[in-house]
Amino acid sequence: MWTRVLLLLGVLLLVIVLAALVIGYLISAPRYKGPVSDHFDGKEFYNLNGAKAKGFWEAIRWMLTRDQGRWPAYHNDPPGPPPPARVDGRAVRVTFINHSTVLLQFDGLNVLTDPVYYERVSPFQFAGPKRNNPPGIRFDNLPKIDVLILSHNHWDHLDIGTVRKLCDRDRPHVFCPLGVKAFLEKEGCQNVQEMDWRQSVAYNDSTTIHCVPAQHFSGRGLFDRDATLWAGFIIDSKVAGRLYFVGDTGYGPFLKEIGRQFGPLRLALIPIGAYKPRWFMSPIHCSPDQAVEIHEDVRSEQSIAIHFGTFPLADDGARDPIDDLEKALAAKNIPANRFKALKTGASLIVN
């Protein structure tokens, strides 16, 4: 009898493993194919200074020992007011929607970064990191989006359900890193421009998009790790100045180079969350004190915090990134209003 039970358990385990492999394959994104470069070996992308995301066994160690910080119960805060249809001239209106989703309005343009509106940042809506609060602006209250910028293909940055809705509704011009275009077009999105680091593309006569390095990794399933690129983007407007969407990144020397090339910057959107434990997260996520270093490195006149307060992705709690940001700014005698963590749905006008 025991032999039969063990056999059945073995078969069940095999079925589970095979099912996981099949699902992992099905949710993996298409792999990029292109020439070898200083950050692409022909099969995989890599960071300029050799920094790498931790591997499978290190991830298991973290999951077995993690001590997730304190997050409040889900709070259904009322959304912010609908943004204006357009903002003309030099003023930049910044609206923090949630996580890394930010609406930038300037010179008659509406630019949206890494839009995430779904309940979970996961292949499934019944499991995975769940939002702690609703988006700060209702989807239907978003103005027509002209430019959609995607930093990489992780689930908390490329929420394909939201992206599809935006592509269907507004037909925006989508800018993304190398390899992401194939996935977007497979999902029905058109007008997609994929870019490599150090590449520039003119959106119109007054606005150019520059793709710049970031220190991170990519992948949506089990078989596409680092198969597409990750990046930051400089939105270079002759009217509104230079605006920097850092995306998702660890801290590295390339940031000073970005500052030397493009600074001073009028605005920078800099991540501050998902940084604990540092032994695991530091290669791919900057901490709040490193975010302040980025603010200085890129010579940002005004910075806005992103990548915090919505999804419990690491061991820092809901307040940790904000509290540590305040401490880091005070330690360097930087006025708090120079680097702000906005509430979801709140806006700031940079004049």
Please give the pLDDT value at position 8: 66
Query: Is the model more confident about 44 or about 223?
Result: 44
Distance from C-alpha of 129 to C-alpha of 150, rounded to nearest angstrom: 20
pLDDT tier for residue 66 given thresholds of 50, 70 and 90: confident
Backbone phi, psi, residue 297, to 5°: -60, -40
User: Given CA atoms 285, 202, 226, 221 in this order, what sign does their dihedral have?
Assistant: positive
What's the CATH number for 92-350?
3.60.15.10
DSSP 8-state class, residue 130: B
pLDDT tier for residue 20 given thresholds of 50, 70 and 90: low
Any residues with CB less than 8 A from the CB of 42 and at least 6 apart, and which? 35, 36
DSSP 8-state class, residue 74: P
SS3 category, 239: coil
DSSP 8-state class, residue 272: -
For the chain, the domains span 92-350
pLDDT tier for residue 29 given thresholds of 50, 70 and 90: confident
Whether the pLDDT of residue 27 is over 70: the answer is no
Minimal CA–CA distance to 312: which of 66, 86, 143?
A: 66
DSSP 8-state class, residue 84: P
Whether the pLDDT of residue 23 is over 70: the answer is no
Minimal CA–CA distance to 112: which of 83, 78, 133?
A: 83
Any residues with CB less than 8 A from the CB of 306 and at least 6 apart, and which? 96, 99, 100, 102, 113, 246, 269, 270, 271, 272
Q: What is the pLDDT of residues 105-164, one digit of tens each?
A: 999 999 999 999 999 998 887 888 999 999 999 999 999 999 999 999 999 999 999 999
Distance from C-alpha of 339 to C-alpha of 326, rounded to nearest angstrom: 9
56 to each of 48, 63, 88, 205, 209, how far by Cα in Å? 22, 11, 49, 46, 35
Distance from C-alpha of 253 to C-alpha of 161, rounded to nearest angstrom: 35
Please give the pLDDT value at position 125: 79
**Which residues sit opposite 78 in a β-bridge?**
none
What is the value of pTM for the model shown?
0.94
